Amino acid sequence: MADEPVSTGKPLARVDGPLKVTGGAKYAAEYEVPDLLHGVIVPSSIAKGKITGFDTEEAMAFPGVIKIFTHQNRPWGPHFSLFFKDPMGPPGRPFRPLHNERVHFSGQPVALVVADTFEAARDAAALVRVSYREEVHATDLEKEAVSAYEPPRHRIGVPPTPKPTGDAGTAMAAAPVKVEATYRTSPENHHPMELFATTVHWGADNTITVYDKTQSPKSVQIYLKTAFLFFRRHVRVLSPYVGGAFGLGLRPQQSVFLAVLAAKALKRSVRIVIPRDQMYTLGYRAHAIQTVALGADEFGLLQALKQDAIAATSRNEDAQDPMLYFSGLLYRCENVSLSYKLAKLDTVSPCDMRGPGATTGMFALESAMDELSYATGQDPLALRYANYTSDDQMEHRRMSSKALMDCYAQGAEKFGWSLRIPAPRSMRDGRELIGWGMATGIWDAALSPLPARATVTLTADNCLEVATSVTDIGTGTYTILTQLAADAMQLPVDRVTTRLGDSSLPYNPTQGGSWTAATAGSAVQAACDKLKKKLLKHSTGRDTFNPGVVPRHQFVDLLKAAGKSSMKATATITQLSAGRGFTSATHSAVFAEVRIDEELGVIRVTRIVSAIAAGRILNPLTAQSQIRGASVMAIGKALHEDAAYDHNLGRCMAHSFADYHIPSNADIFDLDVIFVDEKDEEVSPIGAKGLGEIGSVAVAPAIANAVFHATGHRVRELPITIDRLLPGLPRTGGH
Ligand code: MOS
């Protein structure tokens, strides 16, 4: 038989693709469950205060309504105790729907209407009258910034803001060239295509099967066990397919909490789907006000770097993300001072959103670097070369790998950067101003902080099953695990089936942090290695194993020789970060072209070249999709997305995609992706670094810098909307 080609590293189309395009892949709200009830949330109409009463008479009389839950009649559970926390939550008290009469934010669930059809629940929900005693709310970060504070407790699992090095104040004062500016970013909502939803199937003996939209069925299982006092074996959580999540599914959401609360109280199956207008109050990317000061010599060499951020959080939690962690890591500079503060708002807690912190922090730093390039008369790319460092200068450690130089060189070559005319407003095409900008990106590369397990099972029909509990949120996890296992067992990929997104499978933590490919992939590879040793031992009695000595396609023969119809092996991968003596990160260089209608201020991003260094690329097709999707999302951050608040009402003004703009097909042109060679045998056993977030980090600043190059007008606030750009465009005669 001919040798099977190695699959890993090849552009295999998604193994879950056919199921997704034919409707065979089911999402949380699509599971058929007998005798299903439907829950619809009643959101608060005020931002802060107390509920003084409910009038539910009319709603209860609506045909089909079974029950209306409020804080007055909901059952007690441990989740209402003082000490309850949920996995992945930041320091503070998690928000718990229907806890008590307090209203913490506009849109907070204050009642849940359960009816025998969705339509009945929805219509009855509109009839629930809630009376409030309103209090003065604060939702404006500009105003609350004066009372910003350093978070007293650090959020576990998030890289801390680096301590100061050198003496930034003195070095800044002495620097011949200095740029200083304040940058603002807007709150953004995640808005995955699939709505947050939960279907709870109430089974015999008080067991529940929960189809939930989550990034971690295991976390939700553990949460439900402790929150509602279930035996763990009585709760099974499934999320085999997830239509995007972007971080909003890292913590258990309102839908799973309320659906299980209702199901347990009624001993019935219940489904809740969060409608699009309520998706604005599940969580958001914290908006921030950042001041960056850079001191440099005449050639642009950094002498001092200062970045001070004030980011939004809620009253009840100190939400934190690594906004400034990367600012100390990226460039050579001996005097660095970074401060990260929070300001409390009467909103739901902010939460992680693709490239949390980094996309916001690097927008400010990379905009400031661009300003420095003009202040010193340097090409923006040359400025990055001049300030390059190959080490982690904050921790005085080496990087496990850093092929950023190759990103710069190959990205610039592909983009044609050398043809750029340096002066702003110098590259025109008819009525359009053309701008070319670039920026550097960086994101964490690590295994999950929690250990991960995977099981592989070989059967006598020469098929292999891979099983691990983590989800695939659209990232390509099914596909790359299938490829890795196929290669490890020397099988064609169509002999391998991968099962994911089920709490009954071996523990594998949350899909997130860009760590899933490296973590789950390494666990699968380790399980395959273990299985091969086991097969050899059972069939030949030898317990030393050199994979090279077994000819291709012989593992199933070893299975038969051992007299077995199937054999399985489970392996665990643990993060070994402590004391490794190096830092790992992914890097990118992003080059953007914008064309701006000089009369109207309309911006089109006509080209993006992303050059990415992310270790071993397991599948260039799914990897490119990750980078392209992240680029689209970041174009939204740069030009469109703004979950703007009406501060009089204290609520987000958007209720749909008509008033919350995201890029559409017409906004997207060429998105080129280059993966540079980067060999890294330390970052993970399979050499992969992860790609979920790096694609988004440098895109918004590259676009902002291109807008400046096109127009000569620096917009220091995202999104760069026409009203922010147009006043800065000089009128050119004839009007
Ligand atoms: Mo990601 S923001 O860890 O889903």
Active site residue 693: yes
Least confident of 143-152, 186-195, 236-245, 541-550: 541-550
Residues 6+ apart with CB under 8 A from 653: 644, 645, 646, 659
Please give the single-letter amino acid code of residue 619: N
Least confident of 326-340, 577-591, 632-646: 577-591
Residues in the chain: 735
Give the predicted TM-score (pTM) of the model.
Answer: 0.97
pLDDT of 14 over the 70 cut: yes
Answer whether 333 contacts ligand 1 (Cβ < 6 A). no
Region 433-453: mean pLDDT is 95
pLDDT bin (cut points 50, 70, 90) of residue 544 is low
Answer whether 283 contacts ligand 1 (Cβ < 6 A). no
Atom of ligand 1 nearest to the CA of 512: 3
pLDDT bin (cut points 50, 70, 90) of residue 728 is confident
Atom of ligand 1 nearest to the CA of 245: 4
User: What local confidence, expressed as pLDDT, does residue 3 receive?
Assistant: 52
Mean pLDDT of the chain: 95
Residue 8 CA to ligand 1 center (angstroms) comes to 24
Region 304-309: mean pLDDT is 98
Q: Using CA of residue 665, residue 667, residue 672, residue 678, what is the dihedral sign?
A: negative
Residue 510 CA to ligand 1 center (angstroms) comes to 9
User: What local confidence, expressed as pLDDT, does residue 676 receive?
Assistant: 98
Q: What percentage of the chain carries pLDDT values higher than 70? A: 97
pLDDT of 734 over the 50 cut: no
Atom of ligand 1 nearest to the CA of 248: 4
Q: Is 30 exposed, middle or buried (0-12, 13-18, 19+ CB in 10 A)?
A: middle
Answer whether 474 contacts ligand 1 (Cβ < 6 A). no
Answer whether 356 contacts ligand 1 (Cβ < 6 A). yes
Cross-sheet strand order for the sheet of 391-392:
391-392, 397-399, 582-583
Q: Is 723 exposed, middle or buried (0-12, 13-18, 19+ CB in 10 A)?
A: exposed
User: What local confidence, expressed as pLDDT, does residue 383 receive?
Assistant: 98
Region 240-247: mean pLDDT is 98
pLDDT of 2 over the 50 cut: no
Choosing from 366, 593, 598, 693, which is the catalytic residue?
Answer: 693
pLDDT bin (cut points 50, 70, 90) of residue 547 is low
pLDDT of 244 over the 80 cut: yes
577 closest CA partner among 446, 391, 389, 707: 446
Residues 6+ apart with CB under 8 A from 129: 54, 55, 56, 58
Q: What does DSSP say about strands 197-202 and 102-103: parallel, antiparallel, or unpaired? A: unpaired
Answer whether 249 contacts ligand 1 (Cβ < 6 A). no
The model's pLDDT over 275-285, given as tens digits with 9 standing for 90+, comes to 999 999 999 99
| 15 DSSP assignment | T
Answer whether 354 contacts ligand 1 (Cβ < 6 A). yes
Answer whether 250 contacts ligand 1 (Cβ < 6 A). yes
Residue 396 CA to ligand 1 center (angstroms) comes to 28
Probe residue for ligand 1, chosen from 352, 444, 447 as the CB with the greatest number of ligand atoms within 8 Å: 352
Residue 249 CA to ligand 1 center (angstroms) comes to 8
Answer whether 633 contacts ligand 1 (Cβ < 6 A). no
Answer whether 188 contacts ligand 1 (Cβ < 6 A). no
Answer whether 39 contacts ligand 1 (Cβ < 6 A). no
The model's pLDDT over 117-136, given as tens digits with 9 standing for 90+, comes to 999 999 999 999 999 999 99
What six digits make up the tokens of 87?
Answer: 């996995």
Of the two residues 529 and 578, the one the predictor is more confident about is 529
Residue 353 CA to ligand 1 center (angstroms) comes to 6
- Using an 8 Å Cβ cutoff, are 214 and 249 in contact? yes
Probe residue for ligand 1, chosen from 191, 354, 633 as the CB with the greatest number of ligand atoms within 8 Å: 354
Residue 727 CA to ligand 1 center (angstroms) comes to 36
Alpha carbon nearest to ligand 1 atom 4, residue = 247
Region 605-611: mean pLDDT is 98
DSSP per-residue string spanning 592-653: EEEEEETTT--EEEEEEEEEEE-BS-S-HHHHHHHHHHHHHHHHHHHHT----EETTTTEES
Number of CB atoms found within 10 A of residue 137's CB: 23
Atom of ligand 1 nearest to the CA of 354: 2
Atom of ligand 1 nearest to the CA of 514: 3
Q: From CA 690, how far away is CA 154, in angstroms rounded?
A: 25
Residue 513 CA to ligand 1 center (angstroms) comes to 5
Residue 703 CA to ligand 1 center (angstroms) comes to 23
Atom of ligand 1 nearest to the CA of 215: 4
554-563: which pairs have CB atoms within 8 A and are 24 or more residues apart?
A: 555/458, 555/489, 555/490, 555/491, 556/458, 556/460, 556/462, 559/458, 559/459, 559/460, 559/535, 560/460, 562/535, 562/538
Atom of ligand 1 nearest to the CA of 692: 1
Of the two residues 543 and 345, the one the predictor is more confident about is 345
Q: From CA 436, how far away is CA 447, in angstroms rounded?
A: 36
